[in-house]
Amino acid sequence: MEEKEQKDGYSTIRVPQQFATEIDKLIGAHGFTSRAEIVKEAVRQYLQKYEDTHLSIINHDNNGTKIRDTKLNQITTINITTKGNYCPVCDASNCEHIRFALMQSDVIKTTKK
């Protein structure tokens, strides 16, 4: 895999065409809307094996942030807005899921839009 640094905080990573073809088959399935979402989820799952955290971001948009909690074996969609935050799993406006999401720079960028 080749990597090219970019100024916007993202990197372009090239993968073999065979991988891209398999990734394309998943677009539209399991809530994935792009190659980038699929690759980010795959990398998150791989890196999670080496991290101590039990939380990971699945995806996010203007409607909410999906977080996987392997300790609770649940997925929650939390709402982070300028009006307040809410996590339905914890029924709280301040919990570990919300704090975890707020530590992710891409989630913060989405909520500022």
C-alpha span between 46 and 49 (Å, rounded): 6
Is 2 inside any structural domain?
A: no
Point out which residues pair with 99 in neighbouring strands. Answer: none
Query: Are 62 and 113 members of one domain?
Result: yes
Checking if the pLDDT of 68 tops 60, the result is yes
Query: Are 39 and 92 members of one domain?
Result: no
Checking if the pLDDT of 17 tops 90, the result is yes
Q: Which domain holds residue 30?
A: 7-51
Query: Are 13 and 35 members of one domain?
Result: yes
Total domain count, the chain: 2
Predicted confidence band at 32 (pLDDT cuts at 50, 70, 90)? confident
* Count of CB atoms situated within 10 Å of the CB of 107: 20
Q: The whole model's pTM is what?
A: 0.52
Checking if the pLDDT of 6 tops 70, the result is no
Query: Are 62 and 112 members of one domain?
Result: yes
Checking if the pLDDT of 8 tops 90, the result is no
Q: What percent of the chain has pLDDT over 70?
A: 83
